Amino acid sequence: MNTPTKAFAFLFALTWLTGVVSGQTQVDPKTAIRMLNSQQHQFEQAIVQVADNIYTAVGYHGANTSFIVGTDGVIIIDTLRGPTSAAKAAEAFRKYSDKPVKAIVYTHSHGDHTGGASAFVGSEKPDIYAANGFGAATGLDPAVDPIAMQRGARQFGRKLSPAESTNRGVAPASTTDHDGGEGYLPPTVTVPSSGLKTTIADVDIEFHLAPGETNDAMFIWLPNEKVLFSGDNFYHSFPNLYAIRGTPYRDVLAWSNSVAEMAKFRPHVLVPGHTMPIRGEEASTTALKDYSEAIRSVYDQTIRGINAGKSPDQIAHEVKLPEHLKDKTYLIQFYGSAPHAVRAIYAGLLGWYDGNPTTLNPLAPKQQAEKMAALAGGPQKLTEQMEAALQQQDYQWALELSDHVKWLDEADRKLARQVKIAALRGLAAREYNAPNRNYYLSYANELESGRLSDIWF
């Protein structure tokens, strides 16, 4: 049983940080690691009994899979990422029932929910339910696959050593990933935009379309058991309104509205796409209302900033979660980040241009670097400033200066690279936002190994 209302204020109270803080999810290294470890119980491997006839497998891979036992068959909600992990969950479920699989339901088309379906199915041919438009407009253009793979590996910390690994914010660090997608079975039943109410194996079940993390997301409602399966529109972390691996715009306002819609059902149990279920009508409903409000607040702050003529940088530094919500365990920024969300909303609604004519045609990076060096009193002075920033644990500034120094023909570019590596590790240690932490560390390792070209530096 989780404790979603447990206050995390004590973690913040311990915060004491040397150097300059440059991000909203940075605290002193000991606190950061304690916070990330405190999240671990959300995806410890377990079969959680959700109701008399419903079981959820948590921690068998990154996402959850659920098992609903009806009179003459079972229903599977989501199937993990590949058949190896899915087979382990399926085996665990079979302790509760050996009835045939009548239906599989995909809450949305992300691979961590769809790739293991074959492992649940024997000789039967279950109906496979998915939303109208399933798979469309949710992912990236394959044209950018090469870089998306690289960035994805960094965000999830796939190549980090065990000593560097913590977790992925809403998922464990060590997942079986060699067979992703190999068990995928295509949908056979399309849920129309208006939704669908039906009965499978004598279980009344409703499918409601709910665009959010993806446009093809839906939540599943069991009216008799009063259990709601939210998919990835809710989990125990501030939502990933933007993924730093690179994503098309996720409709933030629709996401907030979809979660508000779920709250209206007042579920007795809320089963997220990742992390532990929440039990109790009050706790589940409050969590959904809070979640919707938090997303809406970030959206509204961004819109106000945009219309006041502020740049994404300004708004990202100003955005705050409402005071009464920021310490809720399901809104701590372990996975999603409010500042990143601001930038995503800005770009999603207006594109890259921030409206300031200065940024219409900025100087090329090398020109900027040369002028910065001249301003500092020459490349040597700029290099000294870069080293001083690292010394003072002003890591973000050290990074920014190292990115200038790398363009200077007469500067010590090897030193700049070393400073960048050290600054990235300094920032990583402070981060309790898992994607940021994993990205900083992965990138530092890539730089150190010499795998990255001078373009990346």
Q: Give 64 or 292: the residue with its C-beta nearer to Zn ion.
A: 64
Cβ contact 87:138 at 8 Å: no
- Tell me which stretch binds Zn ion (CB under 5 A): 109-117, 119-127, 135-143, 199-207: 109-117
The pattern of x and - marking residues 201 through 240 that bind Zn ion according to CB under 5 A reads: -------------------------------x--------
Structure tokens belonging to residue 409: 């023909």
* String of DSSP letters for 37-77: HHHGGGGSSEEEEEETTEEEEESSSSS-EEEEE-SS-EEEE
Nearest partner of 157 among 173, 180, 181, judged by Cα: 173
Question: What is the torsional sign of CA 236, 242, 244, 248?
Answer: positive
**Distance from C-alpha of 273 to C-alpha of 290, rounded to nearest angstrom:** 17
User: Which parts of 309-368 interact with Zn ion (CB under 5 A)?
Assistant: none
What's the DSSP call for residue 172?
B
Nearest partner of 395 among 11, 17, 15, 16, judged by Cα: 17
Beta bridge partners of 231: 272
Minimum separation from the CB atom of position 159 to Zn ion (A): 20
Q: Residue 129 contacts by C-beta under 8 Å, 6 or more apart in sequence?
A: 103, 104, 105, 106, 187, 189, 191, 196, 207
Question: What burial class does residue 434 get, using C-beta atoms within 10 Å of its C-beta: 0-12 exposed, 13-18 middle, 19+ buried?
Answer: buried
Minimum separation from the CB atom of position 227 to Zn ion (A): 19
Cβ contact 63:273 at 8 Å: yes
Q: Give 229 or 395: the residue with its C-beta nearer to Zn ion.
A: 229
Minimum separation from the CB atom of position 232 to Zn ion (A): 4
Q: Give 114 or 256: the residue with its C-beta nearer to Zn ion.
A: 114
Nearest partner of 316 among 345, 342, 298, judged by Cα: 342
Helix, strand, or coil (residue 216)? coil
Helix, strand, or coil (residue 208)? strand
- Tell me which stretch binds Zn ion (CB under 5 A): 99-107, 271-279, 414-422, 443-451: 271-279
Cβ contact 337:169 at 8 Å: no
Tell whether residue 177 is a contact of Zn ion (CB under 5 A): no
Tell whether residue 441 is a contact of Zn ion (CB under 5 A): no
Minimum separation from the CB atom of position 133 to Zn ion (A): 18
Binder among 78, 102, 112, 433 for Zn ion (CB under 5 A): 112
Q: Give 2 or 79: the residue with its C-beta nearer to Zn ion.
A: 79
Minimum separation from the CB atom of position 82 to Zn ion (A): 13
Q: Give 63 or 331: the residue with its C-beta nearer to Zn ion.
A: 63
Binder among 36, 63, 222, 316 for Zn ion (CB under 5 A): 63
Q: Give 70 or 115: the residue with its C-beta nearer to Zn ion.
A: 115
Tell whether residue 36 is a contact of Zn ion (CB under 5 A): no
Q: Give 272 or 305: the residue with its C-beta nearer to Zn ion.
A: 272
**Distance from C-alpha of 63 to C-alpha of 279, rounded to nearest angstrom:** 19
Nearest partner of 169 among 428, 438, 426, 429, judged by Cα: 438
- Tell me which stretch binds Zn ion (CB under 5 A): 20-28, 105-113, 121-129, 448-456: 105-113
The pattern of x and - marking residues 272 through 301 that bind Zn ion according to CB under 5 A reads: -x----------------------------
Q: Give 112 or 290: the residue with its C-beta nearer to Zn ion.
A: 112
Q: Give 63 or 444: the residue with its C-beta nearer to Zn ion.
A: 63
Site of interaction with Zn ion (CB under 5 A): 63, 110, 112, 232, 273
